[in-house]
Every structure is written in C-alpha cells, then in structure tokens.
C-alpha cells in the first residue's frame, strides 16, 4: 500500500470526484444544442465528453451534433449560450457522492490543508461549492481558467505547492480522470484515482494512480489512520 505519511495537503478534483455533476452538464448541453436547432445528446455521451473544461465539452458536443469539425467562430458563438444555460441550473440534478462531506470534514479537522483543482470554469465552481456547503472546507479553489494552463498540465498543482510552501511529496491529488493522474505525475505528487467518476469510459487503473479507490470514504481511512 502507498505510504501517505508525508501528506499534509490534499487537492481534490470536483466533477466526478466530489459531485456527480453530469446530469446538469447534460441538461445545459442539450439546452444549447436545442437552441441551435441541432440534435440532442444522451447523458452517457455527455459523460464521456466531460474532463477538459467547458470549451472542450462544447467542442465535443458540436462535433457530434454537426457531424464535422467545429470552427473557432462556431465555438465562440456557442459558448455564451452554454454558459447561460449551465449558470441557471448548476446543482438542480447534481449530487454529492456518498461520504464526501463527512470525509472532507474529518480531513479538515485532522489538520490537512484542502484545495479544489478543477477544470470547470471558476465562475461555476464557486456557486457549486456553495450550493453543497463545501466552501468553508477549502483554502484554495482553482478553476480551469484560474491559471494559464489546466490539468493534465501540472501548473495548478505546482501553484498550490508554491502557495502552501510545501514539497511535492507533502501534496496528494484525488481525482476521477486521467487528467488528474497525469497532472499529479508531472508535478511529482502522489495521486488517488476514483473508479466511479468520469474518465472517458476508461478504467482509472489504466493511468496507474498510486492507489485506486471505489468509495470516497476509503480516502479518509487511508489518511486518518496513518
Ligand atoms: O469540467 C470539467 O470538464 C472537468 O472538471 P473536473 O476537473 O472537476 O473533473
Ligand atoms: Mg473530474
């Protein structure tokens, strides 16, 4: 088993890790496609398109609906429509995964520094955290547009390491996507991969995280019993 003895701070991914947000992302995607008079997508399709932020989600949705490559112009016209629809209903059909709140509170009470590192745009991340009463738990919240680069680039994790003035071996990343695993590995940070989230339909074990968990509660068991 991986040794998490040195860990003092944890960076959590958001979509597919803390919150099952695909139902609202799918609703906003389809509201956008409907407004453009294009064919709608299934929730399963949208699930496989989430992971690289809102712009890439829309690129994938438009590519599917139009059946061809999307121009920058089409994407530019579509983004405000999607941002509008998603902003109206961020948490209507979304849910926290089991044991997320109790585990995060226990980790915070045990003295771990906690942060959010998501590819979701910052303007949606803050109200979503608020809707699920998670805001107070995190010292830092980095959205996909908070820095010049998003996951799988290591930039957000390196930013946290600098902000907290810690060593890479003190930080742990927890996520559901290969983007989380790649970012952690590039930053020399240990990483736990969750099996229940969104990873383009691929098993997270294929990305070789330090530990694979099926249940969020297992993270608490690992870190609180050390
Ligand atoms: O919004 C996305 O595309 C992915 O968000 P995440 O990084 O929190 O999984
Ligand atoms: Mg995720």
Q: What is the pLDDT along the chain (226 residues), one digit of tens a residue?
A: 467 999 999 999 999 999 999 999 999 999 999 999 999 999 999 999 999 999 999 999 999 999 999 999 999 999 999 999 999 999 999 999 999 999 999 999 999 999 999 999 999 999 999 999 999 999 999 999 999 999 999 999 999 999 999 999 999 999 999 999 999 999 999 999 999 999 999 999 999 999 999 999 999 999 998 6
Q: Binding site for Mg(2+): residue ranges?
A: 13, 15, 176
Atom 4, ligand 1: residue with shortest CA distance: 51
When divided into structural domains, the chain yields a total of 2
> Does residue 185 share a domain with residue 145?
yes
Is any atom of ligand 1 closer than 6 Å to the C-beta of 177?
Answer: yes
Could you tell me if residue 3 is inside a domain?
no
pLDDT score for 226: 63
Could you tell me if residue 34 is inside a domain?
yes
> Does residue 178 share a domain with residue 159?
yes
Could you tell me if residue 66 is inside a domain?
yes
d(CA 204, CA 195): 6
Query: Residue 5 corresponds to which tokens in the numbers above?
Result: 């003895």
Q: Are strands 211-213 and 171-175 parallel, antiparallel or unpaired?
A: unpaired
> Does residue 110 share a domain with residue 50?
no
> Does residue 212 share a domain with residue 164?
yes
Is any atom of ligand 1 closer than 6 Å to the C-beta of 15?
Answer: yes
pLDDT score for 3: 75
Could you tell me if residue 1 is inside a domain?
no
Is any atom of ligand 1 closer than 6 Å to the C-beta of 53?
Answer: yes
Could you tell me if residue 26 is inside a domain?
yes
> Does residue 130 share a domain with residue 48?
no
Sequence-separated contacts (24+) of 63-67 with Cβ below 8 Å: 65/33, 65/36, 65/38, 65/39, 65/40, 65/41, 66/38
> Does residue 79 share a domain with residue 104?
no
Residue numbers of the domain that contains 194:
9-21+94-224
pLDDT score for 2: 66
Q: For residue 169, report the distance from its CA to the centre of ligand 1, in Å.
A: 24
> Does residue 98 share a domain with residue 72?
no
> Does residue 30 share a domain with residue 107?
no
Could you tell me if residue 161 is inside a domain?
yes
Q: For residue 187, report the distance from its CA to the centre of ligand 1, in Å.
A: 18
Catalytic residue among 3, 13, 139, 153: 13
> Does residue 148 share a domain with residue 209?
yes
Pocket perturbation via mutation, ligand 1, pick of 12, 15, 121 by most ligand atoms within 8 A of CB = 15
Taking Cα atoms as reference points, which of 170, 226, 218, 182 lies closest to residue 13?
A: 182
Regarding pTM above 0.90, the answer is yes
Q: For residue 177, report the distance from its CA to the centre of ligand 1, in Å.
A: 9
pLDDT score for 186: 98
Query: Residue 2 corresponds to which tokens in the numbers above?
Result: 């991986």
Does residue 13 have an active-site annotation?
yes
Residue 193: CB atoms within 10 Å: 28
Query: Residue 125 corresponds to which tokens in the numbers above?
Result: 């991340």
Is any atom of ligand 1 closer than 6 Å to the C-beta of 118?
Answer: yes
Q: For residue 15, report the distance from its CA to the centre of ligand 2, in Å.
A: 4
pLDDT score for 216: 98
Task: Say which CATH number the domain at 57 has.
Answer: 1.10.150.240
Q: For the chain, what is the radius of gyration of the CA atoms? A: 17
Could you tell me if residue 4 is inside a domain?
no
Q: Which atom of ligand 1 is found nearest the CA of 25?
A: 1
Phi-psi category of residue 68: left, alpha or beta, with phi > 0 → left and psi -120 to 50 → alpha? beta
């Amino acid at each position: 088993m991986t040794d998490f003895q040195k860990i003092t701070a944890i960076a959590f991914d958001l979509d597919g890790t803390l919150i099952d947000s695909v139902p609202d992302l799918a609703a906003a995607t389809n509201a956008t496609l409907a407004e453009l008079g294009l064919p709608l997508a299934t929730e399963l399709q949208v699930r496989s398109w989430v992971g690289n932020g809102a712009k890439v989600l829309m690129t994938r949705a438009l590519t599917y609906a139009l059946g061809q490559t999307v121009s920058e112009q089409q994407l530019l016209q579509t983004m405000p429509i999607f941002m509008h629809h998603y902003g109206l209903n961020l948490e209507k059909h979304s849910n926290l995964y089991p044991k997320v709140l109790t585990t995060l509170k226990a980790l915070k009470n045990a003295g771990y520094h906690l942060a959010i590192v998501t590819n979701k745009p910052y303007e949606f991340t803050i109200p979503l955290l608020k809707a699920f009463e998670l805001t107070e738990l995190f010292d830092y919240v980095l959205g996909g547009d908070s820095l010049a680069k998003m996951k799988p680039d290591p930039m957000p994790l390196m930013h946290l390491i600098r902000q907290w003035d810690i060593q890479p071996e003190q930080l742990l990343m927890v996520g559901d996507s290969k983007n989380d695993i790649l970012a952690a590995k590039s930053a020399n940070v240990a990483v736990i991969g969750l099996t229940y989230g969104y990873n383009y339909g691929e098993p997270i074990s294929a990305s070789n995280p330090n530990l694979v968990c099926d249940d969020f509660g297992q993270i608490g068991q690992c870190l609180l019993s050390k």
